[in-house]
Amino acid sequence: MVNIEGRGRRQRDFWAVRAAEAFGTVTKEGSVDDYTQTAIGRGMEGLDMEGSRGGFTDSGCHRLGDRLCDGNEGRHGTFSTLVLGDAMVDVYYIGTATRLNPEAPIPVVKIDKTLRFPGGAANVAANLQSLGIRVSLRSGELFYGHGPITKNRLMVGDTQIARWDENDQCGPIDLRRIPNEGFDTIVVADYGKGSTTPGVVRRLKRSEFIDKRTVINVFVDTKTDPTPWLTSALVMFPNEREYRQYSKVYDQFEWVVSKRGARGIALHRFSKVVYEAPSFARFVRSVNGAGDSVMAGFVFSYLNSQRYLTYTPKGETVHMIFATQYANAMAAVVVEKPYTATATNEEVEEVLRRVNEGR
């Protein structure tokens, strides 16, 4: 369950109802607990996950929110991952334009349909889940009177005409509400919206739900200063601009996956590039959520390759290179699809076969 609980029963009820009504899927009937448990989950009913883009059939779409937001239901797969960060909703207003606006030099767009997808940390969770990993998603508290963080895009065909954001900030994650479920990994998708503050990072390091007897690997993509993660993150995932901005900090991490956009991907070890490759994509329809898919693909490959790779220094490097290659292929699948998309393992393996065969 995404944490939307406030300081009191009345506030908790208000926030939950507002979050649910923001999606237009929940009426004002029901108990406070019902709202608290299902406002975000049920609100994701309308998220378009048709076909392989979402990895779910139409009959399963209405359960997507529950599976992502409730760590105790609908779990599947061998590995279990806790996703922390800024969960969002990506909304696409898709239409046609046949004339210019006489009032301003902009097109007049007739909206034909509206699609909604998990965005931000929710998209990372959706990508992990489409690969078969069990996922628990925890996001920040919604501010009083506000709905979820929403990115709205006006589309004509595959061309984005405009974007406007709503409820662009949230409160910090309440780690006390996360049960100890024996997670194999923790994945952090921090978009600087307020869910993952330095205080949250400090509390995460000493949180009781992490088994101190076991090494829990932490994978982090943050839009902010990565310094708080220096002693806890196994792999960081900056884009090129972020890497340049905080290069002195990123060079102190043992493993960094640099997302280079059209130029592909690079794996750094203490600032030294140990592997790089161009993008595996043949064409690009949408880059929205491509970075989310890189981290999800890397985590999936890393977890699965643990079964057969030995942990010598050389073996660990091979381990990381395999995961980087898989992440690059995952991004290639996603950017060739419209809107905010996910990929399945079968789609990623097909890209890897194509690249290996030189097709």
Angle of CA points 186, 192, 194, to nearest 5°: 85
Residue ranges for the chain with pLDDT beneath 70: 1-77, 144, 208-215, 306-315, 359
pTM of the entire predicted model: 0.77
pLDDT for 70 equals 36
pLDDT given for residue 143 in this prediction:
77
Q: DSSP string of 241-264?
A: HHHHHTHHHHTTSSEEEEE-GGG-
Q: Which residues contact 333 (CB under 8 A, 6 or more apart)?
A: 293, 341, 343, 347, 348, 351
CA 276 to chain centre: 23
Residue 232 CB coordination number (10 Å):
17
All structural domains of the chain with their residue ranges: 9-356
What per-residue confidence (pLDDT) applies to 211? 52
Report the relative pairing of strands 134-139 and 80-85 from DSSP bridges: parallel
* Residues forming beta bridges with residue 117, ordered by sequence position: 90
Q: What is the DSSP secondary structure assignment for residue 142, as one 8-state letter?
A: P
Report whether 260 contacts 180 (CB < 8 A). Answer: no
User: According to the CATH classification, is domain 9-356 in 3.40.1190.20?
Assistant: yes
pLDDT at position 6, please?
A: 33
DSSP strand pairing (272-277 vs 134-139): unpaired
In whole angstroms, give the CA distance from residue 155 to residue 143. 29
Element (DSSP H or E) covering residue 9: helix 9-23
Upper half-sphere CA count for residue 284 (Cβ side, 13 Å) = 13
What pLDDT, on a 0 to 100 scale, did the predictor assign at position 21? 39
Integer Cα distance of 92 and 65 in angstroms: 18
Strand-pair category, 235-236 with 255-259: parallel
The angle formed by the CA atoms of residues 50, 56 and 59, to the nearest 5 degrees, is 80
Contact 87, 63 (CB under 8 A): no
What local confidence, expressed as pLDDT, does residue 311 receive? 57
Q: Are 1 and 37 a contacting pair, CB within 8 Å?
A: yes
Find all residues with CB under 8 Å of 113, minimum gap 6, and list them: 94
In angstroms, the CA 87 to CA 196 distance is: 11
Using CA atoms, how far apart are residues 169 and 193, in angstroms rounded to an integer?
Answer: 5
